[in-house]
Structure 1
């Protein structure tokens, strides 16, 4: 089973939920797709870590063959190519590495070269295989790194927990696209509720079954609870403000490995979403 853990905004406790769901299982894979700020490894502290670069392909133009027909420029729907001073020029941050410019060039003047965009780290933490995507600083698109992290994590058929980026961008869609179930982590605030509705709309369009965990609650929050009832979204659990959880998080500890009651809580959440086989 593949669980995608999402939040409409940063700071809701998405990584807290993701890490503990994976650690509460008998055996699991944790994939950190929040590649601009991957924090799951700070809690898991994986051992025997190996890393591999992630590359995209960029077109390279042979000036001795190019006759200035501009077919590559006309083909590029992303407007990553322009023709300046009698030669093509590429904007790397816009290029989607589709290879179309090389295919349409009648003079075969276009080849491709690798360009590093990030790193995938793999390791283990007790019962959890940890896969971490890390985007190079300054890169415009996280999708290539997320795609490779998912490919690596999906090699294992154990329960898989995907720690998605916050929000509802292309990176989130890439992270959740192959998931079997979506777990929303929401804050009981007007801002948190608004952003939760946006990411819920994305998951609804993808037709994914889903449930909500309300985190850092200091009491009922009728707007979100009424919305969930109206949309028939199960409320999986409510975590109140907790000094113990705050202290464990500050120390980089995994709650279910420190507290048996919390372990049972996360195992119950897994049961509610159909993950009994992982326990």
Structure 2
């Protein structure tokens, strides 16, 4: 299909209050249906967009954070650093300050409060980012190292690398924690993906509250819809949330999705649906 013309650079964040709603399904197919676009997988704890795009990796880089190192010759054992650290990443053991690197959040505060200037910093890798290409879609994916405290630095780097694209689809981490906040903070529009269950509505309410807090325009996409009652649709109606699109429960689509197929590439009907959804989103952010 021809590229969708974007007059100004747009960042569309796709989020959901829980995993399994179809957030990545919507993100991947929106990016593909757009023609030329960038897809950023910010779910750095469990990225899976690459399973669909199967990109040719063109670049890779490590992401590091600053971790404190204690010069024990200068340290007097005043314990101001251990008292300051709210994450308990510093402990005074056997007359020495010990740094627990895996729970350090790299705030740099311990070095600032040390009166002896006995703390300096070193780099510690916490993950990596990969840049790739899949047909007309540029893919950017972050992977957080096992046991690391926070994926926020990786998300920041991903968004920096994708900041110059005309159309960027941001596949956010599920939920409403700090990694999700980092993913949406500069978005022009948020798409809230919900499923038709009471549990799904509870989590839709969480991300609804989040986008309102950030004052970002938003709309909803309802996935796995059936002929029965749809609590997610009722929630949207009750809260004046515009429903931008609906996708019915479809066993064949589910089968292809489970096999890592991008359904907008292999099914003309779904390509049309996602193209229409993208136009509806872009109309909202004009």
Q: TM-score, normalised by structure 1?
A: 0.93
Deviations 1:189-210 (A, max 9, x none): 1111111111211111111111
Question: How far, CA to CA, are the matches of 2:18 and 2:230 in structure 1?
Answer: 20
Question: How far, CA to CA, are the matches of 1:106 and 1:276 in structure 2?
Answer: 53
Count of residue pairs brought into register by the alignment: 277
Question: How far, CA to CA, are the matches of 2:284 and 2:271 in structure 1?
Answer: 14
Question: How far, CA to CA, are the matches of 1:96 and 1:86 in structure 2?
Answer: 24
Query: Shift of the alpha carbon at 1:89?
Result: 1.9
- Check the 8 A contact 2:57/2:130 in 1, yes or no: no
Question: How far, CA to CA, are the matches of 2:129 and 2:283 in structure 1?
Answer: 27
* One of 266, 274, 279 as aligned partner of 2:274: 266
- Check the 8 A contact 1:187/1:193 in 2, yes or no: yes
- Partner residue, 1:96: 105
1:11 lines up with 2:20 in the alignment: yes
Give 1:136-215 correspondences, 5 Å limit: 136-154=145-163, 156-215=164-223
Q: 1:93 aligns to what SS in structure 2?
A: helix
Query: Shift of the alpha carbon at 1:235?
Result: 0.7
Question: How far, CA to CA, are the matches of 1:276 and 1:45 in structure 2?
Answer: 31
Deviations 1:88-138 (A, max 9, x none): 122323322122222232322111111111110111111111000111122
- Check the 8 A contact 1:57/1:114 in 2, yes or no: yes
The root-mean-square deviation of aligned C-alpha atoms, in Å, is 1.9
The runs of 4+ residues in structure 1 deviating greater than 6 Å are: none
1:71 lines up with 2:70 in the alignment: no
Give 1:22-37 correspondences, 5 Å limit: 22-37=31-46
- Partner residue, 1:56: 65
Structure 1, unmatched stretches of 5+, are none
Question: Are the structure 2 counterparts of residues 242 and 30 from structure 1 closer, same or farther at C-alpha, using a change threshold of 3 Å?
Answer: same
- Check the 8 A contact 1:19/1:30 in 2, yes or no: yes
Question: How far, CA to CA, are the matches of 1:65 and 1:252 in structure 2?
Answer: 56
Deviations 1:35-57 (A, max 9, x none): 11111001111114321111111
Query: Shift of the alpha carbon at 1:262?
Result: 1.4
Q: TM-score, normalised by structure 2?
A: 0.91
